[in-house]
Amino acid sequence: MILLSLMGVILVGLGFVMGGAVTGEEGGAFIGIIVALIIYFVLLLIAFVGGKSVMLSMGNAKEVKEDDYPQLYNIVEEMRIAAGMPFMPKVYVIQDSAPNAFAAGMSPKNSVVAVTTGLVEMMSRDELQGVVAHEISHIINRDIRYMTIATIMVAAVAIMSQVFIRAAFYGSAGRSRSSGKGGGQAQIVMLLVAVVFAILAPILIRLLYLALSRKREYLADASGARLTRYPEGLASALEKIGNSTLDLKSAGKANAAMYIANPLKGKGKRLKNLSSTHPPLENRIKILRAMGNGYSYANYQQAYQVVTSKKSVIPSSAIAGDQA
């Protein structure tokens, strides 16, 4: 929530400086904030209405029935029961030999689980169960809704920044309405501040988004191990996915974060910096294997601390609830 709040501050701040720079009046800054919020809520409405369809379309995913993939369908149903979900997610398959998977849907009631044909062919039953448990965990943890809100903030800031920077360079923004010399100088300073902020804001909000994405991946691993009672299944699956040199043809920068592992890794390359959509696979695998025979949130938290030397990644409320 702290990361999400910071993203909101950047969005509102960008609207504030842009409004002030464009109008040159005191009230202009607040008009900019209103415009920023309108853009955000319009995009959010579009995402809530058709976001799932867009994600499935981008991934070239096709719905399948139990007769098409009986084992896959059985595993999804198995993990749905383990998670206590009252509704069965729809099952989708992507015709691609690169092993990967994602979940979509704003709530468990209208959720889907999508996997590639390469994943189904490459994984054992335990490994496939681990991947499905990870994706089911994204659904029950409300990660999809959470990340959609963050994604729309990123999109809103990107749109506002591009429009303002183009307008500024073409001279349609930042024209002083004051004939006084002091007013003109103040307007130029405000314009320069706005341009700098318009350049930096998309970078800052993207870094916050990626930090949020990586944190939710760790949580989904922990929840997936808890559902299967077998952390090694997911660890082994991630190992196979990481060793694959195949790129997912339908994946791009816009939808890379929704997959269980970075689909744009190329020939053995893995992103390990602030611009990565996922935590390092090596860390995720080590943490799962460090859990041993344990599968609770507390076990995962302890393993995470040992592997990463960081304090925590699981909310204390989840650990307390798990013990109860």
The pLDDT mean for the chain works out to: 84
Given a cut of 90, whether residue 246 has pLDDT beyond it is no
How remote is the C-alpha of 82 from its chain's centroid?
Answer: 24
Q: Which residue has the higher pLDDT, 253 or 57?
A: 57
Cβ(49)–Cβ(233) below 8 Å: no
**What tens digit of pLDDT does each residue of 97-115 get?**
999 999 988 888 889 999 9
How much of the chain, in percent, has pLDDT values that exceed 90?
38
Mean pLDDT across 143-160 = 80
Q: Following DSSP, what letter does each residue of 137-196 receive, concatenated?
A: HHHHTTHHHHHHHHHHHHHHHHHHHHHHHHHHHTTSS------SHHHHHHHHHHHHHHHH
Query: Could you list the active site residues?
Result: 135
Mean pLDDT across 199-212 = 81
How much of the chain, in percent, has pLDDT values that exceed 70?
87
Given a cut of 70, whether residue 286 has pLDDT beyond it is yes
8-17, 117-126, 140-149, 290-299, range with the lowest pLDDT: 140-149
Q: Which residue is associated with the tokens 């501040």?
A: 193
10 Å Cβ neighbour count for 148? 20
pLDDT score recorded for residue 178:
47
Mean pLDDT across 22-46 = 81
Give how far Cα 50 sits from Cα of 22, 43, 106, 159, Å.
33, 11, 10, 19
Given a cut of 50, whether residue 200 has pLDDT beyond it is yes
Q: Which residue has the higher pLDDT, 77 or 310?
A: 77
The Cα–Cα gap between 254 and 45 comes to 18
The Cα–Cα gap between 64 and 234 comes to 23
The Cα–Cα gap between 134 and 55 comes to 18
- Residue 47, C-beta contacts closer than 8 angstroms, at least 6 positions apart: 54, 148, 151, 152
pLDDT score recorded for residue 173:
45
Q: Which residue has the higher pLDDT, 268 or 142?
A: 142
pLDDT score recorded for residue 288:
97
Cβ(257)–Cβ(153) below 8 Å: no
**What tens digit of pLDDT does each residue of 42-83 get?**
888 887 777 777 778 777 889 999 999 999 999 999 999 999
